[in-house]
């Protein structure tokens, strides 16, 4: 059996499945590495709790998208094999077993290590059996004042069928005995916890024998659920949560108005097909079977958990606890020296290209560039892509202000940015209301490229000229994530790069054939082919006995043809280092196939997000930064860019800060073996090296 890879022209090429690892298992392996951060005794305790929550959040999306996709293939009786040669059913069985093991490990860590250690620091989650009389009285009053008025218990009988349960909402299944006021005795009811209610409630300090006492909403409901069913006996109360398929389906060939179609589809996301049922481990067998039947799920889809069914909601706890000693030390982002000389961004960019390394360096220059452009009388036009930007974006506010000030504002809003569709539709509506040109990209291709162009009328040697100022980035135009994700941004007024960016905007807003670009590699036209060509150039150099080297950093590596080219390069003797944060389908270190390839994953306090591609190129050392991972979707189904770092000093910075420091890391670096396993790299004799720690120190103000 062989797996296949699609090219942009529909051609098929076969690859041996034993050369590839499974995507879903790779994603779960990534989450195991994140979970290891919660286990790390050297990490601050409240940050360990955060990492536990991050794993839960990641798993939610994993089930909503990846597991949902597998189940959909099984439902349709698909016989398509994954790249590693598995049928959907085979993949589901393996992935389900791995997911159950991961969740069990997660809750064991939560209950056996993190909770006891938090209690030792005076941060306690109070169980019902431990409530004092004073605590119980306060909680009872809280229940009647804040909780009971917004609850709607639903008794299950012929006139009250099983309710529609929202995706990932907290619910309670209640077993009852007795008759109600109308003589009914259905024996069961469902209580849905509205999302307006906090899942963790902090008790007044005077009621606790600890600095910070918390109680779960689930504990409060368990304690007083009988108040909802007067005169009846509660035999059992069990929290549960269902995860649903959340991948929007939009037939883009049939859609006439993409925004209207997506707006219509968004409400249905909450009620897609069920893919996972989480229940408290004390849930009775009868109620468990009943719930599985209601959601059309099997035993493999059931996750019994010894604790809250939604650990994500504990993410708020560190912010409620004023213990800086239990959190990562705060750090102040720096600013490049080139921007410290003048407040005028345009003058600074004219003096030379500027590299921003987030979050070690501030995202404010990007915000200020757009802010200055919005009010500068010499600025005549602004063009920008929006993939993820948040609901309260200062960048979007600047675009609104620019349009109100009479600038020609054009915004490419990606409506299919997963889980950000609603926010993007909101911004699109506001921008249109002030006269901005809003375009939704190209049907069938997500616009994932990060580019901003400001056109300014300036005095030149031969009179008035229009100059393009450009920002290109590896991350989203999202000020909040720019403080948490590692990304590079380039500010330049290079004429050829400006011309390339302008050409891409023309493609996105108008019609016409793709033109040859000076410097940029663009998906779906030239990105993959240029990467393959660069890999093969290193391969040929190695065969000729010349020095050859490839280093690439990205989030995911899955595209089979690119992996095959890397294998070929390794066999020719090219030394290849890959820094892949998440899933990697390539098998490194296999004799005769990939013995010259090393793969590592960096997991630390910051989310590794930048994509960097380095090729020795006969000593020229070509360095590209990109919005794209090496995946089929990025190469063939998205608008993506890779842009070169042309300035020699900035190129050296990217190599040093984005690659060499990560390759030297022996504290947060996980090395991958040929079977997809990872080992934390610990150099016992080597000097401790932590790339993220060193960059915080190196680039601080």
CA angle 341, 342, 343 (to 5 degrees): 140
Contact 360, 696 (CB under 8 A): yes
Distance CA 527, CA 488 (A): 19
Distance CA 557, CA 437 (A): 36
CA angle 649, 625, 456 (to 5 degrees): 80
Contact 678, 668 (CB under 8 A): no
Give the DSSP per-residue string, 538-559: HHHHHHTT---EEEEEES-B--
The residues, any chain, with a CB within 8 Å of residue 16's CB and separated by 6 or more, are: 2, 3
Distance CA 77, CA 273 (A): 16
Distance CA 301, CA 571 (A): 43
Give the DSSP per-residue string, 190-236: EEE--TTS-SEEEPPGGG-SSSEEEEEHHHHHHHHGGGGSTTSEEEE
Contact 121, 45 (CB under 8 A): yes
Nearest Cα residue to 394 out of 502, 482, 276: 482
Catalytic residue among 212, 222, 448, 616: 448
Written as six digits, the tokens of 23 are 């995507």
Is-cis flag, bond preceding 524, omega within 30? yes
Written as six digits, the tokens of 204 are 């007044």
161: phi then psi, degrees, rounded to nearest 5 = -70, 170
User: In 3-state terms, what secondary structure has residue 692?
Assistant: helix
- What is the β-pairing status of strands 354-358 and 485-492? antiparallel
Beta carbons within 10 angstroms of residue 375's beta carbon: 12
Distance CA 174, CA 190 (A): 6
Distance CA 71, CA 65 (A): 10
Distance CA 662, CA 564 (A): 25
Distance CA 663, CA 55 (A): 25
The residues, any chain, with a CB within 8 Å of residue 685's CB and separated by 6 or more, are: none
Q: Which residues of 376-405 are buried (b: 16+ CB within 10 A; e: fewer)?
A: beebebbbbbbbbbbeebebbbbbbbbbee
The residues, any chain, with a CB within 8 Å of residue 439's CB and separated by 6 or more, are: 410, 411, 412, 413, 508, 509
Beta carbons within 10 angstroms of residue 293's beta carbon: 10
Kindly calculate the radius of gyration of the chain based on its CA atoms and give it in whole angstroms. 27
- What is the β-pairing status of strands 123-125 and 200-202? unpaired
Q: Which residues on adjacent β-strands are paired with residue 490?
A: 355, 472
DSSP 329: P
Dihedral sign of CA atoms 534, 537, 539, 541 in order: negative
Is 448 an annotated catalytic residue? yes
Active site residues per annotation: 448
């Amino acid at each position: 059996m062989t797996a296949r890879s699609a090219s942009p022209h529909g051609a098929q090429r076969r690859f041996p499945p034993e050369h590839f690892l499974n995507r879903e298992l790779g994603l779960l392996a990534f989450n195991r590495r994140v979970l290891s951060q919660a286990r790390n005794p050297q990490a601050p305790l409240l940050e360990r709790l955060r990492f536990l929550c991050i794993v839960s959040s990641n798993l939610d999306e994993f089930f909503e998208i990846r597991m949902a996709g597998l189940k959909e293939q099984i439902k349709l009786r698909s016989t398509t094999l994954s790249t590693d040669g598995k049928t959907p059913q085979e993949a589901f069985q393996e992935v389900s077993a791995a997911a159950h093991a991961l969740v069990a490990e997660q809750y064991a860590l939560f209950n056996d290590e993190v909770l006891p250690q938090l209690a030792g620091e005076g941060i306690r989650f109070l169980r019902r059996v431990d409530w004092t009389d004073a605590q119980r009285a306060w909680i009872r009053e809280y229940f009647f004042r804040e909780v009971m008025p917004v609850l709607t218990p639903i008794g299950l009988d012929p006139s009250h069928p099983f309710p529609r349960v929202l995706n990932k909402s907290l619910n309670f299944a209640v077993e009852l005995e007795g008759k109600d006021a109308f003589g009914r005795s259905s024996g069961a009811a469902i209580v849905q916890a509205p999302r307006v209610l906090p899942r963790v409630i902090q008790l007044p300090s005077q009621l606790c024998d600890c600095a910070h006492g918390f109680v779960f909403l689930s504990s409060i409901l368990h304690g007083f659920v009988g108040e909802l069913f007067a005169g009846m006996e509660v035999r059992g109360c069990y929290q549960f949560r269902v995860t649903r398929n959340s991948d929007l389906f939009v037939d883009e060939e049939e859609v006439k108005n993409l925004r209207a179609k997506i707006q219509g589809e968004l409400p249905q996301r909450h009620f897609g097909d069920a893919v996972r049922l989480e229940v408290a481990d004390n849930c009775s067998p009868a109620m468990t079977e009943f719930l599985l039947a209601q959601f059309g799920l099997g035993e493999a889809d059931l996750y019994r958990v010894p604790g809250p069914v939604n650990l994500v909601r504990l993410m708020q706890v560190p912010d409620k606890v004023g213990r800086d000693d239990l959190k990562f030390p705060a750090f102040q982002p720096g600013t490049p020296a080139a921007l410290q000389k003048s407040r005028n961004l345009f003058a600074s960019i004219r003096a030379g290209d500027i590299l921003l390394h987030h979050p070690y360096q501030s995202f404010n220059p990007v915000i200020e560039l757009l802010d200055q452009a919005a009010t500068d009388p010499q600025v005549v036009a602004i063009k920008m892509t929006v993939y993820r930007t948040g609901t309260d974006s200062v960048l979007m506010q600047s675009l609104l202000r620019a349009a109100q000030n009479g600038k020609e504002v054009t915004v490419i809003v990606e409506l299919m940015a997963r889980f950000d569709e609603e926010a993007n539709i909101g911004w699109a509506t506001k921008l249109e209301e002030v006269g901005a040109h809003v375009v939704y990209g190209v049907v069938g291709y997500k616009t994932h490229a990060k580019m901003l162009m400001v056109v300014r009328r300036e005095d030149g040697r031969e009179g008035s000229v229009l100059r393009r100022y450009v920002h290109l980035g590896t991350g989203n135009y999202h000020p909040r994530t720019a403080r948490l994700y590692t990304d590079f941004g380039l500010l330049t007024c290079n004429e050829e790069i400006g011309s390339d960016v302008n050409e891409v905007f023309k493609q996105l807003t108008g019609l016409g054939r793709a033109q040859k670009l000076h410097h940029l590699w663009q998906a779906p036209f030239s990105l993959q082919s240029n990467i393959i060509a660069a890999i093969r150039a290193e391969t040929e150099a190695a065969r000729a006995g010349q020095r050859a080297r490839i280093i690439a950093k990205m989030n995911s590596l899955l595209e089979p043809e690119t992996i095959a080219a890397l294998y070929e390069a390794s066999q020719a003797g090219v030394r290849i280092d890959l820094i892949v944060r998440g899933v990697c389908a390539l098998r490194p270190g296999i004799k005769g196939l990939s013995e010259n390839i090393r793969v590592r994953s960096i997991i630390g306090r910051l989310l590794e997000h930048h994509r960097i591609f380095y090729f020795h190129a006969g000593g020229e050392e070509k360095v590209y930064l990109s919005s794209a991972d090496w995946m089929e979707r990025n190469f063939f189904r998205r608008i993506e860019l890779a842009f070169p770092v042309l300035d020699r000093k900035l190129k050296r910075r990217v190599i040093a800060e984005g690659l060499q420091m990560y390759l030297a890391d022996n504290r947060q670096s996980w090395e991958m073996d040929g079977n997809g396993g990872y080992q934390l790299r610990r150099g016992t004799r080597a000097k401790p090296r932590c790339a993220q720690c060193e960059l915080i120190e190196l680039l601080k103000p």
